[in-house]
Amino acid sequence: MRVLLTVFEKRSEIDIGIFGNYQLDQTISFQYGSDIRLSIAQGRILLRYEGLGYLGGQSIQLIRYKGENGQENGLRIHGQNNLYPGDLRVSIKDGFLSLIMTLPVEEYLQGVVPYEMDDGFPLEALKAQAIAARTYTLAHLDASKAYDVVDNTNDQVFRGINPQHQNAINAIEQTKGVVSVFEGALARPYYTASNGGITESAYNAWGREIIPYLIIQKDPYDIENPLSISKTAAIAKEKQAGMNQQSILLYDIITNRLRAQLINKGSLQEGHSLEILGIDQVQPHSTKYGGKDGVMKFLRFDVSALVERPSSLAQDEEVSVTGQSAIGSNKTNANATEKRTQNASVDILIFPDIEQLLGLSINRNENEIVTVKTDDHKHLIAFGRYGHGVGMSQRGAEWMAAHYNWKYEQILRFYYPGTSLETYDTQAEPLGLYAVDYLATPGPAPTATPRPTLMPLNMTPAPDQKIILVDGIAENSSLNLRLQPDYLSGIVTRLYYGQRLILVEELENGWMEVKTDTLTGFLRHEFVSIQP
């Protein structure tokens, strides 16, 4: 299968370590542990290796061959410690290098599973993750496209192989070839970090089609897991001094909403006071997509409020009213008011109003699950769900395996009801052997070649100049000193390991102008070191 390595995109130069048996376009072989650098020159890919330059076309390929048993056989790309085990095609796209790796599915999974689910999760949860990831991969193989998947969350995170992730590797090996199927075809076993206690349907999440096994259902295992992603806000039940800022803001919002509501109904006059005394109950209601469970649209706040309203004074009554005092009056005072306690309900949109007001956002898609718990002093409003919520919850699977001893088959049946497991043949074709024509030329045993004599350097550098040493190449190789700072420029001479030079000037593009007693030319900075 082929994966586009977006983690290395937007680069015009990239370093690759060869830790296996590789050839370039079936023309150049590399020793184990070699370092190469790829860049763009004149619209073509330039490979630099031990002081030599190879100018390829707009696309080159590093082909992997059979390696020794027990030895690494892959690439380390641009300083990454993880191993990328496969063929690597490098091409030029939009002025940058584009990397696509082709590798066996089971090796690919070793670079996916521990980055989609932590290697410290229970083995049975990791097995469920391996099967879901394997099924997703096989379902996305498409020879008509330039690549099958990308290495990020648009498909599955792929970061190469780290042998320390042994639990994930064991889970992959112990479920080799096992996939999830539905009605004879590969299923689409999407998964998410946490679902907030309720799975989402594929149709609600993406609106494309109804998938029978990707439905809305309650998931107590996810919500039981204390590590499931959630955010909470505590709201005081009674209005009081010293409330937290979230409570103050919410009480103000409810007051304004209730004021507008009562004025619209004629129950409150402009200029009369309204004060929220407390919030008796908070209840999410009205699902976003219909049905009983899922993402809700509103939070309903049942409140008690002190409402100012007109007061009618009967004859001979003695009533103390706001702003007036009437004693023994036999008329109604049109300006007299009184304050009465009233119960009311206020609906506030969860998205975006409550989410933004209380700082509870987790996802950019406004799809969190809202729950409310109440005690004697506060309402605890919680937002849960990290990801799209479709399919398997990774935190739910962790809890199932760790606290209920569920096996991977049970986990997958719960999250993908109606699916079953089958075993596919994912055995990769054997790697080829190095072509000996590119490795050695038959002939008599070579005689020892004397080490080339280094050019003398007797000149004293100027105050603003430094001595540099050619030490970034192998001792038995050479480095080209060029006429101009360009790999396509003519060669002045060959420099050998240990050659001392005077640094005349460092150029911005990584080239250096250097000289000896008799020669001047240009070389790259990575092949030399500045001497003290």
CA distance 103 to 425: 15
**Contact between 109 and 133 (Cβ < 8 Å):** yes
Give residue 493's pLDDT band: very low, low, confident or very high (50, 70, 90): confident
**Contact between 416 and 187 (Cβ < 8 Å):** yes
**Contact between 355 and 267 (Cβ < 8 Å):** no
- Comparing CA positions, the residue from 54, 21, 12 lying closest to residue 36 is 54
pLDDT at 328: 41
Q: Percent of the chain having pLDDT more than 70?
A: 91
CA distance 275 to 357: 20
Token digits for 28? 């150049």
Give residue 456's pLDDT band: very low, low, confident or very high (50, 70, 90): confident
pLDDT at 30: 87
Give residue 317's pLDDT band: very low, low, confident or very high (50, 70, 90): very low
Q: Is the pLDDT of residue 512 over 70?
A: yes
Q: What's the average model confidence in pLDDT over 499-503?
A: 92
Q: What's the average model confidence in pLDDT over 441-460?
A: 59
Token digits for 442? 């038959």
pLDDT tens-digit readout, 332-342 = 466 788 999 99
pLDDT at 90: 97
Helix (H) or strand (E) holding 180: strand 178-182
pLDDT at 152: 95
pLDDT at 515: 92
pLDDT tens-digit readout, 217-244 = 999 999 999 999 999 999 999 999 999 9
CA distance 307 to 309: 6
Q: What's the average model confidence in pLDDT over 150-160?
A: 96
Helix (H) or strand (E) holding 262: helix 245-265
**pTM for the predicted model, two decimal places:** 0.76
Give residue 452's pLDDT band: very low, low, confident or very high (50, 70, 90): low
**Contact between 367 and 194 (Cβ < 8 Å):** no
Reduced to 3 states, what is the DSSP secondary structure of residue 153? Answer: coil
Give residue 487's pLDDT band: very low, low, confident or very high (50, 70, 90): low
**Between the CA of residue 459 and those of 317, 498, 503, what are the distances in Å?**
117, 17, 12
pLDDT at 68: 83
Torsions phi, psi for 131 (to 5 deg): -70, -40
Reduced to 3 states, what is the DSSP secondary structure of residue 260? Answer: helix
For residue 435, the one-letter residue type is A
Say how many CA atoms lie within 13 Å of 464 toward its Cβ: 3
Q: Is the pLDDT of residue 510 over 90?
A: no
In the block, tokens 């304050």 appear at 339
Pairing type for strands 87-93 and 178-182 reads: unpaired
Q: Which residues pair with 494 in a beta bridge?
A: 480
pLDDT at 445: 41
pLDDT at 432: 86
pLDDT tens-digit readout, 88-102 = 999 999 999 999 999
Domains of the chain (ranges; CATH) run 1-103 (no CATH), 110-227+391-429 (no CATH), 230-384 (no CATH), 466-530 (2.30.30.40)
**Contact between 190 and 433 (Cβ < 8 Å):** no
Q: What's the average model confidence in pLDDT over 283-307?
A: 96
**Contact between 276 and 259 (Cβ < 8 Å):** no
Give residue 324's pLDDT band: very low, low, confident or very high (50, 70, 90): very low
pLDDT at 365: 87
Q: What's the average model confidence in pLDDT over 386-404?
A: 97
Q: What's the average model confidence in pLDDT over 261-271?
A: 92
pLDDT at 451: 54
pLDDT tens-digit readout, 33-84 = 899 999 999 899 999 988 788 888 999 999 999 988 888 999 999 988 999 9
